[in-house]
Structure 1
Amino acid sequence: MADTRTTGIPANVTQGSQTKGGIGESTLRPDGTLKVTGEFAYSSDMWHEDMLWGQILRSPVAHAEILSIDTGEALATPGVYAVLTHDDLPTDVKNYGLEIQDTPVLATGKVRHHGEPVALVAADHPETARRAAAKIKVEYRELPVITDEASATAPDAILVHENRDDHHIGHVPHPNIVHRQPIVRGDADAAARRADFVVKGEYTFGMQDQAFLGPESGLAVPSEDGGVDLYVATQWLHSDLKQIAPVLGLPEDKVRMTLAGVGGAFGGREDLSMQIHACLLALRTGKPVKIVYNRFESFFGHVHRHPAKLYYEHGATKDGKITHMKCRIVLDGGAYASASPAVVGNASSLSVGPYVIDDVDIEAIALYSNNPPCGAMRGFGAVQACFAYEAQMDKLADAVGMDRVAFRQLNAMEQGTIMPTGQPVDSPAPVAELLRRVKAMPLPPERQWESSEGSDVRALPGGLSNTTHGEGVVRGVGYAVGIKNVGFSEGFDDYSTAKVRMEVINGEAVATVHTAMAEVGQGGITVHAQIARTELGVAQVTIHPADTRVGSAGSTSASRQTYVTGGAVKNACELVRERVLEIGRRKLGTYHPAWATAELLLEGGKVVTDGGEVLADLVDVLEDEAVEIEEEWRHRPTVPFDLVTGQGNGHVQYSFAAHRAVVEVDTELGLVKVIELACAQDVGKALNPLSVIGQIQGGTLQGMGIAVMEEIVVDPKTAKVRNPSFTDYLLPTILDTPTIPVDVLELADEHAPYGLRGIGEAPTLSSTPAVLAAIRNATGLELNRTPVRPEHLTGTASA
């Protein structure tokens, strides 16, 4: 059950009207029923008359020169309309990328990772396209692979990118390092000499897949003006547009993009996948082209979470105060840059965690390698760091001889704390309170499988596999807390745009909200309607399909959309409201002096005074007029971190969550059952409490997955992916899902719309180390890697 408490909303934060379905209510998502009943139309369900199917031929090796490509047999296949290679690209712009344009549309000269796109086929049936792609003959000469830091930075290391010229090359020690971010504050060496206790740890974090519901898919339709209309599942329409148009040789206004139904994202749709390929085939054939990845191909078609090696040192005094921290974080970015520079910035700047540590020496780097490309995933660099620093907190508390939660509370940051980057935390940071709340939650009963109603094997480690009946099952409890930034950072011009229209239709005042926000399951379309109802006082709100015919909304990532696009919707609604009141004053204001003197509101389809007196009906005010305003909204600015000291106000906002994990472990079989993952989180303001709980529970489960089962396994000798399927890449199911009680705290951030705080990522951070801490508590093992496997618990493999 959620314990929702609102504390001290600042005076400048709008409380909203009393119109039903507004801010603070648990309004239901309009797409919810369709999704759970299987009726929702995803991008893979789209259809067009005379449509062709696209297929991508991918590299079977991770690093090789391309000696030749023979497409003749594929082109001769009946039903095939086009076969394209790198040589068929229409312009000199042949690469794309989020920040660094280093990713080829189709491989040329060499391939750099297993599954890299080499050629395209368009045919009248998907099986024909697949068979034709298999007939393309590519001759490779394999090259040595770069798979880790040692091979990437050796003096004689092969360069993954031979001719780098991006803006990071000047400050990295080796061309196979994408980006490096040090952060130095105080004197960590001197502080270490004052420490009574010093603990060190080396941690390994596995590569996690976003594992979204719907695979990559889209439909490109050529248009009569020589352009193309693309309907696609993505996270960032305008970023896609800026990368697609130059490759096609078209102005941006001739590449019209519309968001299709998205089956989850979690960062995996920030980068392009099939977008350019579908457009190329459509423009070449003059026919609509649909591309849908199967699940096997999807594992190669999007970036993953960066695997990492993390090296930490902490010190503390006898009374439990942390003296210093040193850390080095090595993230494997794979073959192409994607979001690696930003992930490095997050990992380094948040590597201390939500603690007060004045003396730090931090370094984070991302590698180029021949492993699968890695980029954005929920938590974005902070997840890997949290796993390590929370394990360190347990070690340090044990060394000092303090309770692990009390130790964290003693060193917890609060509002006013200075981050290691020198940035003051200027909004609530209730770290100690979140820990207190999560610890105070009742613990689940012991030995639940021995209920009065009889044995329930589902409550045991191994579940329905019926492998244990409780013999050798040990319970463990663990705690963790994390800090995550909200919004894009380091000087990025992070803004959003909203167009709001208000008019009378069929005798009712209604509003339409139009943004380019990608609804990927986070519930943004519900919140936008709530904002419009609150600010405009109307019951009926239509959410226009997201497309590029309105200004950019940025990416649906970094927990930013409710903050930034919600802020844009709120801002546009306020301007529309003022325009409507101006119309009312012009038309009706002479009938009542309050039109000129009172604070007027729109509520329930009426114009009312701040005292509740009704002045007019909105239908009478608008009549045959319509008000439409498109407006951008920006949060306060950030700056890049200094490349030597790491100092700078790089982040907009911080979010915090704490978890308590309860696990039961069969120490003989190496099986783990997560019984409960209790969470306490500050959300600033719960705009939709039901959606807030859903986001927290979803993020919690995703963090649990990387703790105990999820990992993309890459062969260290060949850099090939070993488990590209949900048969071998394990995901938590409903049978693995623990009880997830949530305690929601609402401490408003006066800088944010409605005082809200981004929420979607923070619970992903602390759930992983909480589960590991609980398993350590149960077994006494060190367990310094994710995910924990059975062999790590039974002594048959190194932990």
Structure 2
Amino acid sequence: MSVTAPRTTLRVGKVGDRLLRDDAVPKVKGEFDYSSDLSAPGMLWGDTLRSPHAYARIVSIDLSKALSLAGIHAVLTHIDVPGRKTYGLEFPDQPVLAMERVRYVGEPVAIVAADHPEQARRALAAIEVEYEPLDPVVDMERALEQEPLHRDRPTMGHGYLDDPRPNVVRHLVIRHGEPETAGEVVVEGVYEVGIQDQAFLGPESGLAVPDGEGGIDIHVATQWLHVDRDQVAPCLALSTGQVRIHLAGVGGAFGGREDLSMQIHGALLALHTGRPVKMSYDREESFTGHVHRHPARMWCEHRATREGRITCVRMRILLDGGAYASSSTAVASNAASFAIGPYRVDNALLEATAVYTNNPPCGAMRGFGAVQTCFAAEAQMDRLAAELGIDPVELRLLNALEPGDSLPTGQVISGSLPTRDVIRRAAALPVPAEEPLPRDPLRLPGGAGNTTHGEGVRRGVGFALGFKNICYSEGFDDLCTARVVLGADGSAVVHSAAAEVGQGVTGVILQVARTELGTDDVTLAPSATASVGSAGSASASRMTWMAAGAVRDACRAALEERERRGGGEVDVERVYRHPRTTPLDPETGQITGERAHVALAVAAMRVVVEVDVELGLSRVVWVGTAQDVGRAVNPLAVEGQIEGGTAQGLGLALMEELVTRDGAILNASFTDYLIPTALDMPPVDIDLVEDPEPDAPYGAKGVGEPPTVVSTAAILSALRDATKRPLTRVPVRPDDICL
């Protein structure tokens, strides 16, 4: 049975070395084993019947025709869920299979297991479901007045501000200083962000294998093995020890794999049939079957002195969370907490509201919450600079947030945050000279389409600054476990449940272990819940910090134990925790302890674009960025993360949006949902600003999210410079920039 991942090795190196990834070549050559490549003897194929309605009551379900088909081994509905009927990443508000109602297009209603994928599809088509369509809630503003989609208000009573309006997932208000403080100059704006998909390479897939003793092994591409297990086990009426999650090959994640996909469904079918069951979504199902970036609407007002000092910021942020809570509470918190950007502002009123709707479900995506508000806040900074007649970079330097200053939540910045250094170093990167015409069409807006020869092309230069928290916040008990086994022969094996989702955490773990143990003979065991405690999620730019801390501590403890014993094999497990955080006050949004956030990281980006203002075509010519990375464990991997994060920000700026009508996705394929290709990506000049974080292992900060946070804002700044248009919505459409 080919379900076990190989042990991971890495080119020999220690903390600080530039190292190539061992998985890069097989991924590029198509030889890497992803979760969709798994197989086992006697394997059945699972598939899912999904709702065609955004909101409807289920009147009846008739399975008889499906059950009578050849090759069908199971057809299951919510009645067949033996344990808890609901699950959820933070709140168990999502049915394993729809019960009385469906709340979004694509919600799972029934599952089947068959000998062949085509037989499974025929069985789905034979299931007869009678629906009574209901009026869907699809406008995020009207959702605050319409019928509640969840009458039991699942997120209430958890320490948040208790908002009486219907469909509120979380409402957060941050009051800082005197929010009525006036300014000599005032700029206002309303900004919108569309729905972005993670668009990862590998769709949701996995293999569930019954152990013959009532338990189950689930091999799946995920971001958080132990939380998957803790959601799956109660629904199966099993103990956590009977459910074992194994990390299979992951084709990207970006937040989209934090929520469950096939885990419970595959396990239900496998336990029901007594045979392994594989489930692998097609691309359309992937688009409808996982969470996306929250669309947002933001109302902003910035007040300042004529010299450019910001006196007050007021922002109202509305986020569409879709049908279920997922991580909307954290997204709302981040959106409000980082709404102003990395600027010192003594007075502010910041409101963020996440709502339930019948639109596609939304949850974590790279930079969650901070991406949306950075786009709005940086547009406001450019407006303010124009109104004051001040250079945009100088305005940002004048108001830059630094250690010793306070965030709007009242938290005093005590760690590293080299904001001014990051601004200056990004601004100092040399901008490439303008290329003369005529030139290769690939180097013009429109590219290979050869739609312009450069007659209507204008050049623009933009700048943006953004920041985000590192690790989980607001009192979450964030921990990471590592286990180190030292062999009598001097070799070492590291066990960690850290999910390698393409970000390179396996390399970090091996570099740390080799640094601490003083040997190159180190391997990393496959990630699984049964062999080691939780590592937490591969999200929130936390995994480098947390895994490095856990592995460091376990290695040091193992060496001490071997010294105490005088040799022989040693097996040690250690749990690492970062400095404690505390929740925000639900009434004021102020800290209730020393800090709500562990640490912060800042990035600045300068962008050059070319825009054909007659045809509405655009091209990003060059990106220059400086980023606060604490200390780079592997500078080459850090640069790769910055380039990848920039690509996703470029996609949101120019092309990526799920288009919906009455809750249904209209472009659920890569034919109609466009993502940047290699031809769309410009050269990216990167300046790593290393100012070690005092509380972090080796001084390292996570690096994956800040480039996505800032790149969309920087590209829009350049587009505004080229077109002289306000461009208040992303992604920008061709008719937005045509003159």
Is the TM value for this pair above 0.5? yes
Aligned to 1:211, the other structure's residue is in SS state coil
- 1:399 maps to 387
- 1:163 maps to 152
Given that 1:514 and 1:544 are in contact with CA atoms closer than 8 Å, whether structure 2 keeps it comes out as yes
Given that 1:90 and 1:249 are in contact with CA atoms closer than 8 Å, whether structure 2 keeps it comes out as yes
- In the alignment, structure 1 residue 378 sits paired with structure 2 residue 366: yes
- In the alignment, structure 1 residue 647 sits paired with structure 2 residue 647: no
Matched residues in 2 for 1:628 and 1:85: separation? 44
User: 1:780-799 maps to which residues of 2 (within 5 A)?
Assistant: 780-794=724-738
Pick the aligned partner of 2:416 from 417, 428, 435. 428
Aligned to 1:39, the other structure's residue is in SS state coil
Cα distance, 1:26 vs structure 2: 1.4
User: 1:187-226 maps to which residues of 2 (within 5 A)?
Assistant: 187-189=178-180, 191-192=181-182, 195-226=183-214
- In the alignment, structure 1 residue 27 sits paired with structure 2 residue 19: yes
Matched residues in 2 for 1:165 and 1:459: separation? 52
- In the alignment, structure 1 residue 247 sits paired with structure 2 residue 235: yes
Cα distance, 1:271 vs structure 2: 0.3
Matched residues in 2 for 1:205 and 1:353: separation? 17
- In the alignment, structure 1 residue 183 sits paired with structure 2 residue 183: no
Matched residues in 2 for 1:694 and 1:732: separation? 16
Q: What is the CA deviation profile of residues 754-783 of structure 1, one whole-angstrom value per residue up to 9, with x for unaligned ones?
A: 011111100101100110010000000000
| Root-mean-square deviation (Å) | 1.2
Matched residues in 2 for 1:531 and 1:404: separation? 41
Given that 2:385 and 2:391 are in contact with CA atoms closer than 8 Å, whether structure 1 keeps it comes out as yes
Given that 1:448 and 1:459 are in contact with CA atoms closer than 8 Å, whether structure 2 keeps it comes out as no
Matched residues in 1 for 2:20 and 2:552: separation? 20
Given that 1:188 and 1:361 are in contact with CA atoms closer than 8 Å, whether structure 2 keeps it comes out as yes
- 2:560 maps to 578
Q: What is the CA deviation profile of residues 312-370 of structure 1, one whole-angstrom value per residue up to 9, with x for unaligned ones?
A: 10011011100100000000000000000011111111111100000000100100000
Pick the aligned partner of 2:651 from 683, 705, 710. 705
Cα distance, 1:793 vs structure 2: 1.2
Q: What is the CA deviation profile of residues 578-631 of structure 1, one whole-angstrom value per residue up to 9, with x for unaligned ones?
A: 2233345xxxxxxxxxxxxxxxxxxxxxxxxxxxxxxxxxxxxx4xx1111100
Given that 2:223 and 2:499 are in contact with CA atoms closer than 8 Å, whether structure 1 keeps it comes out as yes
2:48 aligned partner, one-letter code: I
1:149 aligned partner, one-letter code: M
2:37 aligned partner, one-letter code: D
Matched residues in 1 for 2:15 and 2:546: separation? 16
Q: Which is higher, the Rg of structure 1 or of structure 2?
A: 1
Give 5+ residue unaligned stretches, structure 2.
1-10
- In the alignment, structure 1 residue 149 sits paired with structure 2 residue 144: no
- 2:94 maps to 103
Given that 1:303 and 1:372 are in contact with CA atoms closer than 8 Å, whether structure 2 keeps it comes out as yes
Q: What is the CA deviation profile of residues 540-560 of structure 1, one whole-angstrom value per residue up to 9, with x for unaligned ones?
A: 111000000210000000010
Pick the aligned partner of 1:532 from 485, 501, 513. 513
Query: How has the CA–CA distance of structure 1 residues 78 and 352 changed in structure 2, closer, same or farther, with 3 Å as cutoff?
Result: same
- 1:56 maps to 48
Aligned to 1:188, the other structure's residue is in SS state coil
Matched residues in 1 for 2:12 and 2:623: separation? 34
Given that 2:161 and 2:172 are in contact with CA atoms closer than 8 Å, whether structure 1 keeps it comes out as no
**TM-score normalised per structure 2:** 0.97
Q: What is the CA deviation profile of residues 403-427 of structure 1, one whole-angstrom value per residue up to 9, with x for unaligned ones?
A: 0000000000111110000101112
- 1:687 maps to 633
Give 5+ residue unaligned stretches, structure 1.
1-18, 585-621
Matched residues in 2 for 1:497 and 1:708: separation? 40
Given that 2:212 and 2:274 are in contact with CA atoms closer than 8 Å, whether structure 1 keeps it comes out as no
Given that 2:456 and 2:614 are in contact with CA atoms closer than 8 Å, whether structure 1 keeps it comes out as yes
Matched residues in 2 for 1:671 and 1:442: separation? 25
Cα distance, 1:675 vs structure 2: 0.5
- 1:476 maps to 460
- 2:577 maps to 634
- In the alignment, structure 1 residue 562 sits paired with structure 2 residue 537: no
- 2:7 maps to none
Pick the aligned partner of 1:675 from 609, 621, 624. 621
% identity of equivalent residues: 55
1:428 aligned partner, one-letter code: S
**TM-score normalised per structure 1:** 0.89
- 1:172 maps to 163
User: 1:230-309 maps to which residues of 2 (within 5 A)?
Assistant: 230-309=218-297
- 1:734 maps to 678
- 1:541 maps to 522
- In the alignment, structure 1 residue 511 sits paired with structure 2 residue 492: yes
Cα distance, 1:519 vs structure 2: 0.5
Matched residues in 2 for 1:734 and 1:58: separation? 34
- 1:5 maps to none
Cα distance, 1:28 vs structure 2: 2.2
- In the alignment, structure 1 residue 487 sits paired with structure 2 residue 431: no
Matched residues in 1 for 2:409 and 2:321: separation? 24
- In the alignment, structure 1 residue 129 sits paired with structure 2 residue 120: yes
Matched residues in 1 for 2:416 and 2:239: separation? 45
Query: How has the CA–CA distance of structure 1 residues 78 and 375 changed in structure 2, closer, same or farther, with 3 Å as cutoff?
Result: same
User: 1:335-484 maps to which residues of 2 (within 5 A)?
Assistant: 335-447=323-435, 450=438, 455-484=439-468
Cα distance, 1:159 vs structure 2: 1.4
Query: How has the CA–CA distance of structure 1 residues 448 and 231 changed in structure 2, closer, same or farther, with 3 Å as cutoff?
Result: farther
Aligned to 1:149, the other structure's residue is in SS state coil
Matched residues in 2 for 1:743 and 1:636: separation? 29
